[in-house]
A and B are shown apart, each in its own frame.
Chain A
Amino acid sequence: MIGLRITTVLAVALSTGATVAHAEAGGDAERGATLFRQCSGCHQVGEGAVNRVGPHLNGIFDRPAAESEDFRYSDGLQRAATGGLVWTYETLDAYIHDPRALVSQTRMSFRGIEDQQERDDVLAYLRLYSDNPQDIPESAPTAVAVDHEVAPEILAIVGDPAYGEYLSGECTSCHQSSGAATGIPSITHWPTEDFVVAMHAYKDGVRTHPVMQMMAQRLSNEEIAALAAYFEDVN
């Protein structure tokens, strides 16, 4: 599975590498690497990067939107792709400035980066993984979306999606089952492991949001697994 994903990564990257234009703006890729930490909960970039909560970002420049075959994009992003959206410096800049302004129903639950220089820095960093895709730098992939250690036996629990569907009623008072995100993050179509890790991070107080801590604290390991199973394939 992992091998297959990497093959896809390289194929996409190779097909787009030759046409990349250079950045007009002067971004600092090193600062961008630091700023990218706010993205890395969901996105990987670099050697071995794979799709997680969000798609990997290798070869993103000049790639048509919603193109990664093994990622389930939001309806909004698919519509934008049908409308011809291609990830250029300008469109990426607009997207990370205010994701929902560019793609109204994106699942990307990100407030956006207001500061132009910071956006230039992030894009300069991402560009490293697009300019010479046949020679992706041999840096480690960015932090995998594991912000919390969860015991393997908890990760191994196979959740019951029917029970998860009932429990999801507690989530959908705030989180939209369509995946739309307008201030409350999208929780649909996450890899189950990422979902379970995130919920245990709230349950154990590592993630600090008070509502989510309260909701997670009374969910059992089985119930978290059930929710993860339900939301992975919802709709």
Chain B
Amino acid sequence: MKFNRRAFIGTAAATAGTLAAPTFARADGHGKPRVVVVGGGAGGATAARYIAKDSNGEIDVTLIEPTRAYYTCFFSNLYLGGFREIDSLGHSYGTLASAGINVVHDWATGVDRDAKTVTTAGGYTIPYDRLILSPGIDFVDGAVAGWDVSAQNAMPHAYKAGSQTELLKSQIEAMPAGGTYAMVAPPNPFRCPPGPYERISMVAHLLKEINPTAKILIADPKENFSKQGLFEEGWSTHYAGMIERVGPDFGGADVEVDPAAMTLSIDGDVNNVDVCNVIPAMKAGKIADIAGITEGNWAPVNAADLSSKMDENIHVLGDACAQGDMPKSGFSANSQAKVCANAVRGALTGSTVFPARFANTCWSLIDTNDGVKVGATYEATEEKIAKVDGFISETGESADVRQATYEESVGWYDGITADMFG
């Protein structure tokens, strides 16, 4: 039978908890329904874990993720600042495997939407009833003149955590006295809106300790950025005279880099720099494009269950999807994953589908014990995931409040990684 899942979920909001099990869709010819998840980050790991946990073995869950150890992008700036060890950001998939999830360390390289299969670089073909794509981001080709991925060792992006983050830190530590760290900031929308500016704060913190006459130069194509008032207040308090940001009015969108010469040109003005952290414009991870479910740079989804607007058997989570008002963050991906898991489980086993509800909070660290946060709640509308309510830290908060916010963020890290990886 054909069943309009979206309409059903839409009406479920009024009667949550009292629904009779709907007729559910299970592919013919095999036993348990099968879910394949591509990408083991905040969206994919959470979705896989919740579907496996809540279905009590009724659903076969396969998680395809190339890396053996996942390094969280969130909190990787704190490693740059010296507040975390790199190892504290790494997580294995052993607990998920022990919980019955088939963890396949491989690259997903193809999706056959008619046959409902995923193929991998290692040559496997894995069938699904529902496919969840949570591939994170890739970079837009040619977004920064003079830069491509082959230049990422000379000019790291460090926007996928791990070796790139360690490389960037070692380059900052090796800067000559009084040298220049430059950042090419990305245009909207991009992963972790406060991320580049928290990074500036953490780099400034590190340089203040080891290289106090060093300079920080930001070329930014955006007029405004997340938590701008809070960051700028913190920069003038903690790092006065160190940070210069060139916005679009002064050519911040007109940049070119030369990785061999280590120069950054802003509006034709050539700067010699010692470290150049290029964070290019972003797009959905490549597998979304391969699956043919993107429009522009991102994969549009329905708000109620994160299903693709182009294929009802594919769901897209986190940074890769275009869903509406939520920022691209690990917290958002984790929140979306739980809504998606509930909907997928309902579709495949007839379990109760509760109404979608989303939340996000992003903490940032400006200096030692100087934490700030921004957050909001969201709901699913016909059109998009829409913001309901929100808050942001205020400028001029007491040191106690800022310290409590930082300590809370440390607790959040432990909380969300436990929620993702078990």
Contact = CB atoms under 8 A, between A and B. Distances in A.
A174 B391 contact: no
Contact of A214 (B376, B407, B410): B376
Interface in A128-166: 160, 162-163, 165-166
B233 to A, nearest CB: 18
Interface in B272-315: none
Interface string A211-230: 10111011000000010000
Nearest to B390: A214
A173 B416 contact: yes
B359 to A, nearest CB: 6
Interface in B1-46: 16-17
B414 A180 contact: yes
A131 B102 CA distance: 57
B411 A184 contact: yes
B165 interface: no
A38 to B, nearest CB: 14
A175 B16 CA distance: 24
Contacts of B391: 210-211, 213-214
Nearest to A160: B17
Given A180-B414, A183-B407, A163 B16 contact: yes
A49 B394 CA distance: 40
B357 A211 contact: no
Interface stretch (B143-151, B221-229, B246-254, B334-342): B334-342
A173 B335 contact: yes
Contacts of B389: 214, 217-218
A181 B415 CA distance: 8
Contacts of A213: 391
B342 A183 contact: no
B270 interface: no
B408 A176 contact: no
A88 B158 CA distance: 50
A90 interface: no
B359 A215 contact: yes
A169 B50 contact: yes
B102 to A, nearest CB: 23
Interface string B393-418: 00000000000000111111011101
A183 B375 contact: no
Contacts of A117: none
A210 B335 CA distance: 18
B388 interface: yes
Interface in A182-204: 182-185
B361 interface: yes
A169 B420 CA distance: 11
Contact of A183 (B17, B338, B410, B418): B410
A111 interface: yes
B71 interface: no
Nearest to B407: A183
A177 B377 contact: no
B169 interface: no
B128 interface: no
Contacts of B409: 183
A150 to B, nearest CB: 22
Contacts of B54: 165
A210 B390 CA distance: 9
B148 to A, nearest CB: 36
A175 B415 contact: yes
A172 B414 CA distance: 10
Contacts of B407: 111, 183
Contact of B415 (A165, A176, A214, A215): A176
B190 interface: no
A180 B413 CA distance: 12
B410 A182 contact: yes
A24 interface: no
A16 interface: no
A212 to B, nearest CB: 10
A219 B176 CA distance: 55
A115 interface: no
A214 B377 contact: yes
A214 B377 CA distance: 7
A220 to B, nearest CB: 10
B258 interface: no
Given A183-B411, A214-B390, A170 B357 contact: yes
Contacts of A165: 54
Residue among B54, B331, B357 with the highest chain A CB neighbour number at 10 A: B357
Nearest to B416: A173
B335 A163 contact: no
Contacts of A169: 50, 335, 338-339, 342
B130 interface: no
A170 B359 contact: yes
A213 B331 CA distance: 18
Contacts of A215: 359, 377
A160 B18 CA distance: 11
A215 to B, nearest CB: 7
Contact of B354 (A163, A173, A177): A163
Contacts of A68: none
Given A170-B338, A184-B414, A218-B388, 7 more contacts: A173-B331, A173-B416, A174-B411, A176-B419, A180-B414, A182-B411, A182-B414
Interface of B: 16-17, 50, 54, 331, 334-335, 338-339, 342, 352, 354, 357, 359, 361, 373, 375-377, 388-391, 407-412, 414-416, 418-419
The 10 closest A-B CB pairs, nearest first, are A183-B411, A184-B411, A169-B338, A210-B391, A183-B410, A174-B415, A183-B407, A166-B354, A182-B414, A163-B17
20 contacts: A111-B407, A162-B352, A163-B354, A165-B54, A172-B418, A173-B412, A174-B361, A174-B416, A176-B415, A176-B419, A180-B414, A182-B410, A182-B414, A183-B407, A183-B414, A210-B375, A211-B373, A211-B391, A214-B389, A214-B391
